[in-house]
Structure 1
Amino acid sequence: MKKISGLLLIAAFLSGPAGAADIDVEKAKEIYGPCAACHGQFGAGGKRGEYPRIAGQHARYTYEQLKNFQSQHRLNLPMFPYTKERELPDEDMKLVAEWLATVELPTQMPTFKGDEDALTRLNMVEKVMIVPRAEGDIEAGGKVYQEHCGGCHGRQGKGRGLFPMLAGQYTSYLQKQIDAYLRAERPHEEEVVQDGILYQLKPDDIRNILAYLTTLQNTD
């Protein structure tokens, strides 16, 4: 019965993300609590690239990565204790992934109306996430990205399904993950689809792509 329930849960999840109104936000925030120590109160990640932005990331992708951490298909020693089944069952993974997908991080400083208290203003400012412009040839990076990456990660870098959102992610984190893929330290199942495109790109291509991605964070 437990196995059948788990299969039904996964099937319902893969059929599409829940609407914001269907999410138990308070429970999701409670589950997310321990995650905030590394990923930040609003899921913005670490500015030095040590932790990824997970706010706004596709629910299906986040869920699959949590499962990969749990099974150690994707090795990450700090994440393993948090994703053990007794700590984070499937239902909780699904819920927190769906909630995180609804969290929006503005890319411009807020305009205050004048009736906010100090804490509200502080939170409004803290929630702003602006990725610094990275060095590189933006035009060249855009051409390479659209030719080789846009088909899976979206023309605006927003991703889809199991392909993660790249726009709005800190450049240093993206570079760190690319390096991990190239060293075969992180599995990249999608390489089969793209015929191993990461291994064909030159360092300048990657540098230019990362510069290009920083120009996409303000797109709607």
Structure 2
Amino acid sequence: MRAWAMVVVAAMLAGPAAADAPAPVTLPNGKTWTYDAESGRDIMRTCAACHGEYGEGGGGGVYPRLSGMHPDYLAEQLRRFKSRERENIPMIPYATERELPEKDVLDVSHYLAAIKPPRHPPSDAVAMDAFERLKLAKQAVQIPREPGDVEAGRKLYDGECMECHGRDGQGRVRKPPLAQQHVKYLRAQIDLFLTGRRPHDDVDELIRPKTEADWRNLWAYVSTLDD
């Protein structure tokens, strides 16, 4: 493998460098947490059955992409599953203090955040061995194009979604990315928000009248954010 390609691959597969490692945290039990990438990888093996080996999502879009999300957002959602503030039946066996104590919440959140999913599998023009190519291909997340009027969807997104989720759909610290997220999962979450089964900080924007065509156009635009 060429030297420059090896550097790119290593950066994509590794956890945070020491200089970028999160600061230690005092846990509720008084112990000090420091990031353990190996622990995060081990925990992810349990999550992989639904969310994919590298957090790329699974089930044909039923289970969301987790890789590359902000660690604070991921940790917050895991805590909500544990407290049952956010109900999710498949998560119940795993989101308990015994199965997922706070140190594990932090380890797996930072492990997933360190995986930056490429938009495409590596090009054949990049020289690398087959195993590294396979790993990068598994990490890649590209959303199939949804039908609809992309320009109309962009205008709707800019008016009602961009402030929280960013112009390019990459999200903010506690606002998840919409780019490279499976549309089937997003549709399911919108249904939960609109029916009050999952809280949404800015639900007013969601409940503004939208036709089926509006939603179709919005999804069409969101599906282009990884192009």
Q: TM-score range by the shorter chain?
A: 0.7 to 0.9
Corresponding position of 1:92:
104
What's the CA shift string for 1:143-174, capped at 9, x where partnerless? 11111111111111111122111110011111
Letter in 2 for 1:64: E
1:200 to 205, 208, 227: 208
2:156 to 144, 166, 170: 144
Cα distance in 2, alignment partners of residues 109 and 52 from structure 1: 19
Corresponding position of 1:184:
196
Cα distance in 2, alignment partners of residues 161 and 7 from structure 1: 26
What's the CA shift string for 1:44-101, capped at 9, x where partnerless? 1125221000001111111111011001011111112211001111121112111211
Runs of 4+ in 1 over 6 A off after TM superposition: none
Tell me how far 1:139 sits from its aligned partner: 0.7
1:6 to 21, 28, 34: 28
Letter in 2 for 1:123: K
Residues 1:125 and 2:137 are matched in the alignment:
yes
Whether the 8 Å CA contact 2:69–2:176 is kept in 1: the answer is yes
Cα distance in 1, alignment partners of residues 112 and 190 from structure 2: 23
Whether the 8 Å CA contact 2:35–2:106 is kept in 1: the answer is no
Whether the 8 Å CA contact 2:165–2:177 is kept in 1: the answer is yes
Q: Which runs of 5+ in 1 are unaligned?
A: 14-21
Corresponding position of 2:222:
213
Corresponding position of 1:170:
182
TM-score after normalising by structure 2 = 0.80
Aligned residues: 200
1:31 to 27, 34, 43: 43
Tell me how far 1:23 sits from its aligned partner: 4.1
Letter in 2 for 1:50: V
Whether the 8 Å CA contact 2:120–2:137 is kept in 1: the answer is no
Cα distance in 1, alignment partners of residues 102 and 155 from structure 2: 40
Cα distance in 2, alignment partners of residues 39 and 132 from structure 1: 18
Tell me how far 1:115 sits from its aligned partner: 5.0
Cα distance in 2, alignment partners of residues 93 and 139 from structure 1: 39
Tell me how far 1:6 sits from its aligned partner: 2.1
Change (3 A) 1:138 1:122: same
Change (3 A) 1:201 1:46: farther
Letter in 1 for 2:28: G
User: Where in structure 2 are the equivalents of 1:38-57 lying within 5 Å?
Assistant: 38-46=50-58, 48-57=60-69
Corresponding position of 2:85:
73
RMSD of aligned C-alpha atoms?
Answer: 2.3
Change (3 A) 1:77 1:47: closer
Range that drifts further, 85-94 or 45-54: 45-54
Cα distance in 2, alignment partners of residues 111 and 159 from structure 1: 27
